[in-house]
Amino acid sequence: MKNFAKECFSDLINLFFPPICLGCKSPLISTEKSICVHCEMQLPFTYFHLDKNNEMIQKLSDTLKIHTATSLCYFEKDSILESLIYHLKYGGQQKLGEYFGELIIDLIKSNELFKNIEAVIPVLLNSKRKRRYNQVTVFEKKIPAYLGVPFVEGYLFKLKTPNN
């Protein structure tokens, strides 16, 4: 009975103040989290988790001994993804980080390439910029928790070289 009352109260609140999609600002239905299905379908997924010799592995394997690597999406200017990243970085929408973490987990959970992972290491693009929190950390902490491996921060960051 307690859960029923809680659900009714939540539904009443959502009737007057519905949760909105952070991508397109349309109301979310009860099964959607953070973004609507329409916006999720527009995300430029990399599908690196399906390729054991993907672009990310090729770029990182010169400097690191790695087994596998993945990235969720390609960045595209003026896209839904750019808007979502903005909300994550500057809008304090940490629930988006959790949402992205859940997306990655769904993609890798049945993939043999990710069965023997020893650690999850975030790749920081700018180590000088300080924010209230590291938005990458929010979603990447979900991944090692799911895989049962350590999360190793501060190991990788982009170095400025004369060619950059």
CB 33 within 8 A of CB 41: no
Model confidence, pTM: 0.74
- H/E element, 104: helix 94-108
Would you say residue 132 has pLDDT above 90? no
First CA to last CA distance, the chain: 61
Question: Where is average pLDDT lowest: 38-47, 51-60, 117-126?
Answer: 117-126
Would you say residue 129 has pLDDT above 70? no
Cα 105 to Cα 108: distance, rounded to the nearest angstrom = 5
Residues in the chain: 164
Can you tell me whether residue 86 is helix, strand or coil?
helix
Q: Check residue 59 and give its pLDDT.
A: 86
Instruction: Give the start-to-end residue ranges of the domains of the chain.
Output: 1-39, 43-157
